[in-house]
Structure 1
Amino acid sequence: MTGTERGPASRPALSRCIRVDADEFAHRYWGREPLLSTASELEGGFDDLFSAEAVDELLTRRGVRTPFIRMAHEGAVLAPSAYTASGGFGAEIADQVSSDKVLAEFAGGATIVLQGLHRLWPPIIEFTRALVADLGHPVQVNAYVTPPSSQGFEPHYDTHDVFVLQVSGEKHWRIHAPVHVDPLRSQPWEQHRAAVARAATQEPVIDAVLHPGDALYLPRGWIHSATALGATSVHLTVGMSAYTRADVAAALLEQLGEHAALRASLPLGLDLHDAAALAPVVEETRRDLVEALRQADALGPAAALGRRFEADTRAEPIAPLATLEALATLDASTPVRWRESFAVRIQAVDDRVRLVTRTKTVSMPIEAESAVRRLASGGVLTPAELPGLDAESAVVVVRRLVHEGFVVAPA
């Protein structure tokens, strides 16, 4: 994979969300303990990412549709028809946000949830991509807009880690220890509803009011609820879908088809309802499974998890019109750089250098390998600065890389 390696101290997106060193966060808090960080302990607030004005713009001028918006009131999610409508002539799609309906529900105490802001709002798109690079796990961002003195959702836990970034207003948070540690996606809080409700009546681990610029980290499974205080509260919930050892195990199990013993058919006429008849088959399969896992190496799981990560995250967007314009004027003095967060494997095979992504493979003459690797290492360069090629050849290589979406020309 290409990209510049980041040490614990060089994680800028993560660092703006925590009051401790990134290395301490990684070893003490990540997946283990909640962490409250106040605005005075952080560098700057979060109003560069989002604001109350941004909420109004999304609700009135952007044609937002479900599922990018939902609303909840006193723990119950409202039907989409309560806050959506047709966009009128030329935009008759019925599930577009209706500002009139949203106003009525919001004034009545309902919380607005703007989902998928990592796909909608430019500052959050950039922040999310940087945070993915810092964490090595997929990230999504939602905004919760709660009217004064209202609670959007009852006590619950999430199956992903979260950062709560308070943008404006104040919100009172109560955090309780897990009743089900490290839940997977298949283990939502509703499966433990009674235990969660009981835990929420106990003394909280954290009982705090978040003010603008404050941040709260919650590992998955930690129970939480929040109530807006004297003014409208806007906060961002940054969801981080941490890959787990269960994911590594699943990736290992994907390789079982390579083992002949585990591909064998079960005996003819076997009664699958008869535990006694099935027991010898289970025992034999267990032995074969242990042997298969003993022979497995890290290459298969690494490839499987790498493919999943590439599918779960997004590279820097490419501007089609600006790219074509840049290609028309590209020469040896044009500044270019590698596309950010773009997963590429660079392979030298015989007399070719291959650039392999999840969706395509691009092959170039082996003479371009040094130039390709130099671009992939990061930084802004001109074709004339690339090693191993004369200026004319470098322009040809860079033009191909821009056209294929590996390299961009900074605006």
Structure 2
Amino acid sequence: MTVDTTSRVPLRSRGHSALARLVPLSQSGFASEHWGRQPLVSRADELLTGAADLLGRDDVDELVSRRGLRTPFLRVARDGRTLGDREFTAGGGVGAGIADQVSDDKLLGHFAAGATIVLQGLHRTWGPIIDFTQQLAEELGHPVQANAYVTPRQSRGFDDHYDVHDVFVVQTSGEKQWRLRPPVRPAPLRDDPWTDHRSDVEEAARHDPAHEFTLRRGDVLYLPRGWIHSATALGGVSTHVTIGVHVWTRRHLADELATLAVEAASRSERVRGTLPLSPGGPRTASLDDDIEVAREALLEALRAVPATDVVAALQGRWRDTQRAAPVGPLAQVAAADDIGGDSCVRLRPHLGARLGGEPGGGARLTSRLPDLTVGEHDVGALIALVDDGVLRADMVGLDLTRRLLLAGLVVLDD
């Protein structure tokens, strides 16, 4: 039996997709007009269901004062400089002897003096943002992460710069004035940060911005990678969540092609052959022929790499960039202990699961968790679970259901 299917993933929250909470355009309209090309400012009253509730001021205070955050989940910037960790961290006290926990007392002093608080990795630490970013990543098909920037009145956190990933900026409180300038390095890659082009960025910043506007609560800015930007808080405290989209590019395809081609070319005995003696080190004249042998082998291998192999390799990287939906270990064990035939289970969201056939009639479930292999008699249950979304435990089989629960592959359906 050959099976190839992808897990069904819930893509809607309160009746609207994650992307629809950020832009007023259809997915196809956004993709054709703005994705990777042009900035887009979406006003709160244009969005049917916005994202301003992702992180409020009380939520920020909760995170920095009661959650025991450590670096690098928080950093602090002032006047274009990032403060050293010791300037805003301290020991955790009795029973928590950790030297780099965020100090709310130190943070209060810095914030009152005009520093910007940067909450990093909110896609790992704050529930509403965890859920939203996982949903958005599924819709876009590109990895997503989230930071928040909390800026005092009339303060500028960072100098003009560009990012090497696309961003959605969600203004959740206050107001912030933004200035955008076209890229000096179009479509920069991850290894091409703005600091490598500092003089060009500084020169661009001396000219009038191409776009200047103010974001208010509920407004959203989409900014493709490479666009130079800076922002200043107006009036009171400004909080915005930056959702970074680490886009896949054709460079990723080239990387996978090259890796697969080298593996294929290495099967040739000629390519594996030893180079001649070269006293004094390699010389062009003595290696010309060998270089051509390697070149031709690589070119032949590149042309022969199946597109399906490239996609499979990229799927593996895609699975590694995101997490499955959070799961409670205690709840899972309790569910496995108490499972009954009328209990309903569903595939854990955001697994990135694919079901493929195995020799002998079994099947292998590949996902963001370790692979799971089942025998032929359980294949039908897995197919139904992946395709139908929710099943009664007695339809799956109680033993298999317990196994899936303890592996974190399914959860009880509410």
Work out whether the TM-score is over 0.5.
yes
Give the fraction of aligned pairs with identical amino acids, expressed as a percent.
45
How far apart are the structure 1 equivalents of 2:366 and 2:22? 34
The alpha-carbon deviation at position 107 of structure 1 amounts to: 1.1
How far apart are the structure 2 equivalents of 1:285 and 1:322? 56
Asked if the contact 2:74–2:117 (Cα under 8 Å) also holds between the matched residues in 1, the reply is yes
Of residues 76, 87, 93, the one that matches 1:88 is 93
The amino acid across from 2:409 in the alignment is F
- Mapping 1:1-400, distance limit 5 Å: 1-4=5-8, 12-255=17-260, 256-259=262-265, 260=268, 261-269=270-278, 274-275=283-284, 277-349=286-358, 350-357=360-367, 360-384=370-394, 386=395, 394-400=397-403
Asked if the contact 2:333–2:405 (Cα under 8 Å) also holds between the matched residues in 1, the reply is no
Q: Secondary structure at the match of 1:336?
A: strand
Of residues 378, 389, 413, the one that matches 1:410 is 413
CA displacement 1:338-392 (0-9 Å, x = unmatched): 11011233223323222234553322232222221121125333234x4xxxxxx
How far apart are the structure 1 equivalents of 2:273 and 2:226? 40
How far apart are the structure 1 equivalents of 2:397 and 2:384? 12
- Pick closer, same or farther for the CA change 1:275–1:170 going to 2, 3 Å: farther
Asked if the contact 1:147–1:233 (Cα under 8 Å) also holds between the matched residues in 2, the reply is yes
The alpha-carbon deviation at position 41 of structure 1 amounts to: 0.8
CA displacement 1:35-85 (0-9 Å, x = unmatched): 110111112343421101011011110000000000011111100111101
TM-score by length of 1: 0.92
How far apart are the structure 2 equivalents of 1:303 and 1:348? 15
The alpha-carbon deviation at position 305 of structure 1 amounts to: 1.4
How far apart are the structure 1 equivalents of 2:135 and 2:11? 14
- Pick closer, same or farther for the CA change 1:171–1:295 going to 2, 3 Å: same
- Give unmatched runs, 5+ long, in structure 1: 387-392
How far apart are the structure 1 equivalents of 2:272 and 2:83? 48
How far apart are the structure 2 equivalents of 1:301 and 1:251? 6
- Structure 1 window deviating more from structure 2 (328-337 vs 229-238): it is 328-337
Q: Secondary structure at the match of 1:144?
A: strand
Name the Cα RMSD after superposition. Answer: 2.2
- Pick closer, same or farther for the CA change 1:100–1:378 going to 2, 3 Å: farther
The alpha-carbon deviation at position 34 of structure 1 amounts to: 0.9
Asked if the contact 1:272–1:278 (Cα under 8 Å) also holds between the matched residues in 2, the reply is no
How far apart are the structure 1 equivalents of 2:53 and 2:391? 29
Q: Secondary structure at the match of 2:169?
A: strand
- Structure 1 window deviating more from structure 2 (302-311 vs 283-292): it is 283-292
Larger RCO: Structure 1 or Structure 2 (Cα < 8 Å, ≥ 6 residues apart)? 2
The alpha-carbon deviation at position 281 of structure 1 amounts to: 4.3
- Pick closer, same or farther for the CA change 1:114–1:270 going to 2, 3 Å: farther
CA displacement 1:279-311 (0-9 Å, x = unmatched): 554444333322111111123322221221111
The alpha-carbon deviation at position 96 of structure 1 amounts to: 0.5
How far apart are the structure 1 equivalents of 2:10 and 2:31? 13
- Structure 1 window deviating more from structure 2 (283-292 vs 152-161): it is 283-292
- Structure 1 window deviating more from structure 2 (49-58 vs 342-351): it is 342-351
The amino acid across from 2:404 in the alignment is L
TM-score by length of 2: 0.92
